[in-house]
Amino acid sequence: MSPRLTLPAGRIALSTSSVYPLGVVDGFVMAERLGYDGVEVMVWTDPVSQEAGALRKLVDHYGIPIVSIHAPTLLLTQRIWGPEPWPKVDNSVRLAEEVGADTVVVHPPFRWQREYAADFVQGIAQRDAETDVRIAVENMFPWRARGREMQAYLPGWDPVGMDYAHVTLDLSHTATAGSDALEMVEALGDRLSHVHLADGSGSFKDEHLVPGRGTQPCAQVLESLAAAGYSGDVVLEVGTRKLSREQRELDLAEALAFARLHFAAPATGG
């Protein structure tokens, strides 16, 4: 009997940010216990997240690969690896090369980083050409407060119209931005290299809900990617900061089950 489903080559991984405020080691423990295919390491104040030797030991001990490195380009990680932005990107690429990760996730510059922003598209392209690691720029969202909207990112929060070879699609960010995630998938085509799977209700807050608990077409996005033969990784980036250890594990197990269920496509002829 021929198989009824085709499973893509892409892995389903757990971001270490999904266990925050716990550290990288806890992320590996959770990923191994629940059966994730890999880990995305968020470079954070946790020293382990910044040190290739320590990360390689975790890979060997738990038998789980690091699929991606998230560069420290968030507001809360501005002091990691110094105040200048390009060294953060370069150190992240070097770390990815040393631990065998395929992708580095970066955010676009903040609007007050004007010099960095002016050369950002060209600088990312130059670095892409110098490494086998994909540098995937993540979609963000406008900041809103008291009915007003502010352009927080330069050259823009939406990567679709930008000249990036690789893009990370975050489904919590599409909720906050009010973007159509399915249209973005279609418009990005082969440039879509990496997915942060989470959900959102459309709130001005970046919620990172368990997929299926918000308004985003998480299932449809996964199914369309599977049908298109997407070979990039899907990383669960779910907020569990206020949860107990038991509830965190339950939520991350539910998130993985959702991804496994929907990251598949009908087999040809089936």
* CATH number of the domain to which 241 belongs: 3.20.20.150
What does the mean pLDDT of the chain come to?
Answer: 94
Domain assignment present for residue 222? The answer is: yes
Token representation of residue 191: 């440039």
148 has pLDDT over 90: no
Give the model's pLDDT for residue 12. 98
The residue range of the domain holding 181 is: 5-262
Whole-angstrom Cα distance, residue 110 to residue 198? 23
Q: How far is CA 90 from CA 16, 68, 97, 105, 217, in A?
A: 20, 14, 11, 12, 34
d(C-alpha 169, C-alpha 174), whole Å: 8
In a domain, 270, yes or no: no
Q: Tell me whether residue 57 is in a domain.
A: yes
Report the DSSP beta bridge partners of residue 137.
106, 167
User: Per the domain annotation, does 158 fall within a domain?
Assistant: yes
The b/e string for 94-123 (b: 16+ C-beta within 10 A; e otherwise) is ebbeebebbbbbbbbbbeebeebbeebbeb
Please state whether the peptide bond connecting residue 21 to the residue before it is cis, i.e. omega within 30 degrees of 0. yes
Nearest to 239 by CA among 11, 29, 12, 16: 16
In this prediction, what percent of the chain has a pLDDT beyond 90?
Answer: 86
The answer to whether residue 269 is domain-embedded is no
- Classify residue 267: in a domain, yes or no: no
Residue 268 belongs to some domain of the structure:
no
Q: Is residue 203 part of a domain?
A: yes
* Residue 270 pLDDT exceeds 60: no
Q: Give the type of residue at 229.
A: G
pLDDT of residue 90 exceeding 60, the answer is: yes
Nearest Cα to Cα of residue 11 among 252, 232, 270: 232
Alpha carbon of 2 to those of 6, 7, 134, 172, 226: distances in Å? 10, 13, 35, 36, 18
For the stretch 35-89, pLDDT in tens is: 999 999 999 999 999 999 999 999 999 999 999 999 999 888 888 999 999 999 9
For 186-232, the pLDDT digits (tens) are: 999 999 999 999 999 998 889 999 999 999 999 999 999 999 999 99
pLDDT of residue 75: 83
At 149-184, the pLDDT tens digits run 778 899 999 999 999 999 999 999 999 999 999 999
Helices (H), 63-198: 85-99, 114-118, 120-129, 171-177, 181-188
Number of domains in the chain: 1
